[in-house]
Every structure is written in structure tokens, then in C-alpha cells.
Amino acid sequence: MKKITVIGTGYVGLVSGACFAEIGNRVICCDVDEQKIIKLRRGEIPIYEPGLSELVERNTKRDQLYFTTEVGEAIEASDIIYIAVGTPMSETGEADMRYVMSAAKKIGEHLNSHKIIVGKSTVPVGTGELVREVIQANKKLPWVGFDIVSNPEFLREGSAISDCMNMDRAVIGSDNPEAARLIGELHSPFNTRIFTTDLESAEMIKYAANTFLATKISFINAIANICERVGANVADVSEGMGLDSRIGSKFLQAGIGYGGSCFPKDTYALAHISDKAGYDFELLKSVIKTNQRQRYVIMDKLRETLGGLAGKHVAVLGLAFKPNTDDMRYAPSLTIIPELLKQGASVYAYDPIASEAAKRELPEGVTYSTSLDQAVAGADVAVILTEWDEIRSMDLSNIRKLMKRSILIDGRNCHSLQEAQEAGFEYHSIGRPPVNMSEPDRQSANF
């Protein structure tokens, strides 16, 4: 059993801390947010993540997992200190490092014995060395040593517990082989591959991995836009591409672009890092630009289908950036819904989990429905923005009967063309031929 402190109880810190406790370690999760800690002690989880509540409750009862605002005491009580604070995107696009540096200062002030300091937050290359300098400058006991390790996270929202307990790989970067070995040993119960490297390379791996996946998404979305213009079907194109073992099928699902807490922030951050290093990363900048434009494809389809949006009843199905989370960060709905309201549409929105979070982010004027049926009742058009299972499996024939007009715009390609046709919908998706359009309309759509 190892004694671990995790500084930061956000998404990464809370999931990581709970999983480390689950495999038998004593874990203290600490945060300066007193209200958050009070709620966690009561078993109230501040984020929606399947399985997390049960994991926290079980390990709290086993006395394996603790929550505190006393950050200094938590540092002193453990041998391994994880820094898992937020690194939000600043106005310039670079990662905001204030919370990381604050944690490093606190560690220095309370360094009472040799400890391994592990960076879990997504940070620019070189942060590990900066953390080392800050800790060194703030040490109260000059003779006490420490090691710095980078151990980036690769959790997917909605499946984070499974990702952590069955991780593809644990990337561990350090200039001390013994420190790397100990952190590798910590991960051995996860039945994962341990990949060790230097500190800077580990920090870069996180950015490189996320920006590559974002590149695949923007690439297939660009291909989808071409497919619509030449009469091809992007679903068949992506499947045919994915059969090539050099390419693979993952992250080749066309839609309205990526969102969430990682891809937008990390692509901007790496672009800033490359500019600062004197390299113009044009490819990455194009990925970002393609993603920004992609969500407006929905608006184009709405205008082409309805003519104008003023006075139209638009049912928006799905608000979170992806299913199985209530995360609204950089969700396409945050772009599309304000534009719908601006153009005079009445918006009736439904999300099985994220409605409360959406109310804090979206402007006034949205009517939040408590069911799919309620959202689509009397609608001129329904728009799918999030591929929740409930939306993927909805009975299209029943939905069509509830609507005023039978128009469905599917931003996530949740439904098959045959299914939409049989249900009688005029159906528009991403990169696939439209269904049940009149011939003049079909010709004008293939511009």
C-alpha cells in the first residue's frame, strides 16, 4: 500500500484518486474549494461520470479514500504527491499554469520527507523542470530531497473508470530511474503497459496524442463535406479507410466536431507551444479551423431546409459535448443554440443528464424539456447534437408523428438512411446523401 495525495478534485484528480484507492492504496484528495470537499465527504459527486459515485462511496467506507481542504497536512502525510489541478486555456490559447505553480509552492513549503512529485495535469513541455525550481525555492528543510515525474492522463469522459482500471498504457517520464520504477509499480494492478521516457517527452506525448486524434476527426469531417458535394457516403468511405491497419477505424466518425475539456484546449496549447518554439504548425491550425467551422454545417442545413428560422420550433436533442457526461465545455450546442435564438427560432432542448449544466452556459430563451417526446412535440425540425443511447435508439416513426413537420437533421449520424426513409423523415446527416427530398431540393443541396 502506498500513501498518495492528489492535489485537485476535478475530473482527473477525483477519478485517479478513487481508482488508486480501489487497488489498495491510501489516498487523500485535497482541494482549496471548501464546498466541494464538504459535498464529497457527504458522497455528493460534482461531476457526472458512470461508476464514480459508487467507487468513491466504497473506498471512503473502507478508509482508503479521504477528502480534505488541509493541503499542507495532506502533502506531509504522503510519499507520492499527484498534481492534478486544472490548466484551463488562457485568452492567448496557452495553458494557464497558475494552479500548477501554486501547488508546487505548497509542496515546497510542506516537504517534510523525500517524496515523488507526479504531474498529472496536462502541461506544456518544460513544466516539470519549472515545478522542480518552485519546490526547491520554497523548501523549508533544505536537506530534504524529491523527484519529479510526469504521468499524463488519457481518460475519456463517460468511460473514465474503465479507462483507468484497464488503461492502454501508463506513460512515465523522469530523470530518475528509481522514481520511474516506483510509479510504474503503482500502476501494475491496472494490467497496463508501462512506457518510461524522459520528463519532456512524457509531457509532449499527451499533447501529441490528443492533437493527432483531433486531426483524425477534422480530417474525416472535411472528407464528409466533400462527400456531400460529390454524392459519396462518408460512412462507407470511413469504413473502407478503417479497414487499412495503418489507419484504423477509431475517430473516423463524421459529425459536427470535437468538444469537451481536452481536444480544444490541447490543440490550442500545442499550437501556442509550437509558435513559442519558432515552428509554424500549419497543419494543427487547420485542424482547429476545420473544427470551428464544422458545427456551422448544422446551421447551413437548417437554412437550406427551412428557408428561414424566424418563428420556427426547433427541437435540439443533446446538449453535452458527448454522451455519458454533463460536460458542456466547448459543446457544439453552445455555438448552435445561441445562433438559433439570434435568428428568431424557438428552441426546445432535451438532454438526459446535462440540462442543469446547460442552463448555466446557454442564454435565456431556451425551453428545457424533460423528455424526447416533449421536446419534439409540434416541432418544425429536430436536430441531433449528442449521440446519447436514448437518441440513437429512439423510435423515428413515433417521433415523426409528434412533430409538426417531418424534418430531422442528424449532426452525429445516429440513424441509418434506411431507417429515416422508412419512418418518412426528410433526413439530413453529415457526409451522407439526404433522404426523402424532392429532386429539385436534392440538386440544390449538392452545390
Does residue 241 surpass a pLDDT of 90?
yes
101 and 238 both lie in a single domain: no
Angstrom distance (rounded) from CA 69 to CA 63: 17
Instruction: List, in sequence order, every residue forming a beta bridge with 68; answer none if it has no partner.
Output: 30
Q: Is the dihedral of CA 24, 30, 33, 39 positive or negative?
A: positive
Statement to judge: residues 303 and 434 lie in one domain: yes
Q: What is the pLDDT of residue 94?
A: 85
Q: Are residues 16 and 163 in the same domain?
A: yes
| 266 and 313 fall within a common domain | no
The verdict on 79 and 128 lying in the same domain is yes
Q: How confident is the model at residue 447 (pLDDT cuts 50, 70, 90)?
A: very low
**pLDDT at residue 392 tops 50:** yes
| CATH classification of the domain holding 26 | 3.40.50.720
Average pLDDT of span 60-77: 97
The DSSP secondary-structure symbol of 6 reads E
Radius of gyration of the chain (CA): 24
265 and 348 co-located in one domain:
no
Question: Is the domain of 177 the same as that of 220?
Answer: no
Is residue 70 over pLDDT 50?
yes
Q: Pick from 60, 410, 123, 398: which is nearest to 269 by CA?
A: 123
- Residue of 19, 164, 262, 414 marked catalytic: 262
Mean pLDDT of 77-93: 91
pTM of the model: 0.91
β pairing state of 80-83 and 65-68? unpaired
For residues 359 and 444, what is the distance between their CA atoms, to the nearest angstrom? 37
Residues 107, 78 contacting (CB under 8 angstroms): no
Interior angle at CA 115, CA 178 and CA 141, nearest 5: 130
Q: Could you tell me if 305 and 271 are in contact, meaning their C-beta atoms sit under 8 angstroms apart?
A: no
Please tell me whether residue 224 adopts helix, strand or coil conformation.
helix
Q: List residues forming the annotated binding site.
A: 31, 36, 87, 122, 154-157, 206, 251-255, 259, 265, 322, 329
130 and 53, same domain (yes or no): yes
Residue at which a domain ends, from 275, 293, 311: 293
Looking up residue 278, the CATH number of its domain turns out to be: 1.10.1040.10
Q: Are 173 and 33 part of one and the same domain?
A: yes
Asked if the model's pLDDT at residue 324 lies above 80, the reply is yes
202-232 burial code (b ≥16 CB/10 A, e <16): bbbbbbebbbebbbbbbbbbbbbbebbeeeb
Active-site residue flag, 19: no
User: What was the pLDDT predicted at 301?
Assistant: 95
Pairwise CA distance, residues 49 & 29, whole Å: 17
Q: Is 258 left (phi over 0), alpha (psi -120 to 50) or beta?
A: beta
In angstroms, rounded to a whole number, what is the distance separating the alpha carbons of residues 273 and 125?
8
Q: Beta-carbon neighbour count of residue 176 at 10 Å?
A: 14
Number of Cα atoms under 13 Å in the Cβ half of residue 265: 18
User: pLDDT-based confidence at 446, cuts 50/70/90?
Assistant: very low
Asked whether residue 182 falls in the same domain as residue 324, the answer is no
pLDDT of residue 441: 53
Residue 274, pLDDT > 90, answer yes
Instruction: Walk across the sheet containing 169-174 and list its strands.
Output: 65-68, 26-30, 3-7, 80-83, 115-119, 146-150, 169-174, 193-197
For residues 107-118, average pLDDT? 97
Please check the confidence at residue 429 and state whether its pLDDT lies above 90: yes
Mean pLDDT across 155-173: 93
Q: Position 48: which residue type?
A: Y
Find residue 148's DSSP bridge partners: 117
Domain that holds residue 279: 206-293
**Given this model, what pLDDT does residue 404 score?**
96
Quickly state the pLDDT bin for 440 (edges 50, 70, 90): very low
Pairing of strands 169-174, 146-150: antiparallel
Which backbone phi and psi does 375 adopt, to 5 degrees? -65, -40
Q: β-pairing, 3-7 with 26-30?
A: parallel
SS3 (DSSP) at 226:
helix
Tell me how many domains the chain contains: 3
Q: Among the three residues 239, 274, 293, which one is the final residue of a domain in this structure?
A: 293
Annotated binding site for NAD(+): 31, 36, 87, 122, 157, 265, 329
Mean pLDDT along residues 354-372: 96
Whole-number average pLDDT of the chain: 94
In terms of domains, do 276 and 186 share one?
Answer: no
Q: What is the pLDDT of residues 34-50, one digit of tens each?
A: 999 999 999 999 889 99
Mean pLDDT across 107-125: 95
As a whole number of angstroms, the distance between CA 249 and CA 393 comes to 22
Whether residue 120 sits in one domain with residue 57: yes
Tell me which of 260, 293, 326 is where a domain ends: 293
Binding site per annotation, positions for substrate: 154-157, 206, 251-255, 259, 322
Q: How confident is the model at residue 438 (pLDDT cuts 50, 70, 90)?
A: low
| More confidently predicted of 399 and 446 | 399
Q: Which pLDDT band, with edges at 50, 70 and 90, does 326 fall under?
A: very high
